[in-house]
Structure 1
Amino acid sequence: MLVELAAANAAFAVIKEAIANGGEIASYGAKLGEYFGLKAEIAKKANTKGSDSEEFWALEAIRNQEEELKQMMIYQGRAGLWNDWLAFQAQKKRERDQAEKERVLAIYRRKQKVWAWINSILISISVLSGLVVIAGLIWVIVKRGNF
């Protein structure tokens, strides 16, 4: 958690410094992507681990930085940049969620295929065992005349 927060803080510092020096927000797209990727990772870890004060404060620091970034995009970027950025983030989240669903579904299908093979083998063994038993009974009846 602390590693991700430190990386997010470093990415945010680069973005903030660049904008303060008169740089264009758009020219730091890679750092923005890195920052928001780390934000998503921190949020995911915070939600999976439960409520821990370290995760809470890490998310709070990220929220404060995101609010500051929002202000920079609104006042130093082009008109509608923040709304476009939010729409872009929402689209990317949907894509990540879809990719995760597909990954889980692929694992599920693979497990189903393995179980189908195991069941096929067990059924084949059962049928062959039954045939061997029936053949043995027929052989006993033929050789001895009665059962």
Structure 2
Amino acid sequence: MRIILYVFLFVVFALAQQKTPILVESDQLTYEKDKLIYTGHVKVTRGNGVLTADKVIVFLDENKKAKYIVAEGNVHYVEGIRRAKADKAEYDLQKEIVKLIGNARVEEGQNFVEGDQIVYYKKEDRAVAEGKGRKVRTFYIEKEGR
């Protein structure tokens, strides 16, 4: 039990590159040399953002800090009126690139974009949606006065 608590605390500090604390809940946690694997009803809460998935893998660098995160199976993210979902999500913390893969959809209020893959480049504040074998769909309602 003591080792599980240590690993959990380690994960929280490793993921918290900002000062906002992170709570991770799952049915099981497996720690390996260079990764943490959360499986079963995974819920990651940071501030008012909540990520849920069947499985979340956190890859660690040589200093045991999170460098890459993969969420698989029924991936959902909610933060205020923003919502995202996909079959799989990948987040490269060093490059600050978020990929939503497979049945990807991002919503803000009634507005949405969906495709087979959506990639968000945080540093550039730029996104690319792709429809591999189908069309990319967007829906946008202009606000009054614009």
Same fold (TM over 0.5): no
TM-score w.r.t. the length of structure 2 is: 0.25
Task: Point out the structure with the larger strand share.
Answer: 2
TM-score w.r.t. the length of structure 1 is: 0.24
Greater RCO (Cα-Cα under 8 Å, separation 6 or more): 1
Q: Higher Cα Rg: structure 1 or 2?
A: 1
Task: Point out the structure with the larger helix share.
Answer: 1
